[in-house]
Structure 1
Amino acid sequence: MTRFSRRDLLAVMGGAALVPMLGIPQGHAATRYIVIGTGGTGGVFYPYGGGLAQLLSKKLPDTQATAEVTGGSVDNVKLLATGDAEIGFSTVDSAYDGFKGEEVYKDAGPQKIATLAVLYPSVLHVVASKASGIKTVADIKGKRASVGSAGSSTESIADRVLAAGGLDPMKDVTRDNLGVAESVGALKDGKVDVFFWIGGVPTAAVKDLVSTNANDVTFINTGDLAGALAAKYPGVYRPSTLKKGAYDGLEADLPVLGVDNVLLVPEAMDGGLVKEILAAMFDNLAEVAQIHPVAKQLKLETAAAKSAVPHHPAAVEFYKSRGVTAG
């Protein structure tokens, strides 16, 4: 099936004709279209991307930015590389695999992407039904697990964590490829025993699950595997903590695996646009902070932090102009 973004429709059919349908005031039709690849509706990328699209549409002249639901990091990296999106959210591990042309990108080869900003850390959520008896990653052997959408960064992390726990991710578990919202529904309905999800805290779908089912689920410790994974994938994974009270039923800090999230752009993006986007974000941090709780973590210093995927040269120049060294 041919994929058309809203930008494509505007370009093909004529922006002015679609203005009323898209809710853009007549007489103010945008001349520049920015597509932002996000993720599933139950995660953090989607609301964050939607808020960013609103901000850019409001702050950049003659610009209409739209956020698109996607399969997540892998989809977004590929959309950027093929020119079907201008901005994309990704976990840094998937971005790095794409940049190197490894793992799920092996057939496609290296993806020409660059980092715009390091956003916030995600933590690995491994959530099991108490009825399953799962208390450790090793206990997932022989169980039915949702390992994330096919080809997503969640699936990649799930496979690596299962392997680090001594399991064969393809043979020792019955796999379902579900997004986080679908995973939550499947766990509630007893269709899966456990699900994996890499995302910011709080993730809406997980928060919804524990608000009504806190006594029926348990969060699994992955911190004991984080050190080995951080050593095997330097600069990608690190030990992290799911803080007490982050979700209903979480009564103590839980050691987990952590990974940073990055905002990516095509390697060939015009440097002037890169600087415009960053200026719109950092000149309006109070508005960014209202988008989602994790958006409050956006700061110049952390956005410019070293990433496994190099920053766009224009981003490096922007951060330098604000007194921060990128990378």
Structure 2
Amino acid sequence: MTATTRRRILAGAPALIAAASLPGVARAQATQLAIATGTTGGVYYPLGGGLANLLSRHIPGMSATVEVTGGSVANNQLLGAGRVGLIFSQVDASVDAVAGRDRFRGRPVAVRALAVLYTNRMQVVTTAAAGIRSMTDLRGRRISTGAPGSATELMALRLIEAVGLDKDKDFRARERLSPAESTNAIKDGKLDAYMFVSGIPTSAITDLGASPGVELVLIDHAQYIPKIVEKYGPVYFPEVIPAGTYPGQRTDNHQMSVANILAARDDMPAEQVTRILQVAWEGREELARVHAEGKGFRLETQKTAAAGVPWHPAAEAFWRGQGATLS
């Protein structure tokens, strides 16, 4: 079945699917669940594939599939349209969706957190040959701020604003490319730098760092976080990408991070939320083998402040039952 066919089948159903069977309950009718992830060069896509595999194997009657998308903004829009049942999302994009602001103006989405997954990190990527050493050095350069509809683009434009640059006037060119496309453009001499928000390591950046004759450089930008938080709220925080995370990365990178969540709409049936979380939580070691960022799916990260948006009531009950304090 093609992705287009899957979307046609799924379109228009408010919660997408009938409730999945719980232990001791009669088997539900066949259930289709689409999971919106991101681009193939990021972390959402492989982790989403791992989750879909778990759900399809362990929930009777469920067939879970992953959708390649532009990223978090697009995922929240798809969720609001009823075209997917689960999404991976950066907290900032889901906060905007719930509030109905920016790209969700007039179209709020009743996003509810199911789980806090891991940290997403803003990575401003260039090479030593480009001669870019700071965010202000990007002025007049050819950059990419991420795929349309991605949380990378959302976060990149907020960072550019905080630096004091104009997204429309201060660059020789501003492309909107995926990380894989951006890496290829740098290799081909068509781009000087790009921004990508993801877990680490990211395959596209690893690819660039491993390219012959390339010395990878990640630009520090944590100093701009207070200005961004002042305007957009406390969803961002500083972290460090240690030297050696990527081939050729010689120094620690002081950057801006945001949490990722697994989310659904508020009308997803409670029993379905519970079963999804049971399977995901019991399979967390398998998810960690799919990608290293799966190790960030931990009990202590299940915090209301990190989730950013309201919990689905069944998710809140599940995590309290596991011993999470949430506060």
TM over 0.5: yes
* Whole-angstrom distance in 2 between the partners of 1:229 and 1:9: 39
Shift in alpha-carbon separation, 1:222–1:299, aligned structure 2, 3 A: same
**1:311 pairs with 2:305:** no
> Which deviates further from its counterpart, 131-140 or 201-210?
131-140
Match of 1:140 among 138, 141, 144: 138
Alpha-carbon contact 1:227-1:239 (below 8 Å) kept: no
In structure 2, the residue matched to 1:210 is 209
Shift in alpha-carbon separation, 1:222–1:213, aligned structure 2, 3 A: farther
How much is the aligned-residue C-alpha RMSD, in angstroms? 2.1
Matches within 5 A, 1:104-183: 104-106=103-105, 108-173=106-171, 174-183=173-182
Shift in alpha-carbon separation, 1:125–1:213, aligned structure 2, 3 A: farther
TM-score of the two chains, using structure 1 as the length reference: 0.89
> Which deviates further from its counterpart, 204-213 or 53-62?
204-213
Shift in alpha-carbon separation, 1:309–1:100, aligned structure 2, 3 A: same
In structure 2, the residue matched to 1:261 is 260
Alpha-carbon contact 1:282-1:300 (below 8 Å) kept: no
In structure 1, the residue matched to 2:274 is 275
Alpha-carbon contact 1:30-1:64 (below 8 Å) kept: no
In structure 2, the residue matched to 1:25 is none
Gaps of 5+ in 2: 12-26
The residue identity in structure 1 corresponding to 2:94 is: A
Alpha-carbon contact 1:100-1:109 (below 8 Å) kept: no
May I ask how many residue pairs the two structures share in their alignment?
309
Matches within 5 A, 1:1-327: 5-8=4-7, 31-106=30-105, 108-173=106-171, 174-213=173-212, 215-306=214-305, 307-327=307-327
Gaps of 5+ in 1: 13-27
* Whole-angstrom distance in 1 between the partners of 2:150 and 2:60: 34
> Which deviates further from its counterpart, 41-50 or 293-302?
293-302
Give the secondary structure class of the aligned counterpart of 1:212: coil
- Identity in percent: 38
TM-score of the two chains, using structure 2 as the length reference: 0.89
Shift in alpha-carbon separation, 1:190–1:29, aligned structure 2, 3 A: farther
Alpha-carbon contact 1:125-1:196 (below 8 Å) kept: yes
1:284 to partner: Cα distance: 2.2
Alpha-carbon contact 1:101-1:110 (below 8 Å) kept: yes
Shift in alpha-carbon separation, 1:103–1:238, aligned structure 2, 3 A: same
1:168 to partner: Cα distance: 0.8
The residue identity in structure 2 corresponding to 1:309 is: V
The residue identity in structure 1 corresponding to 2:221 is: T
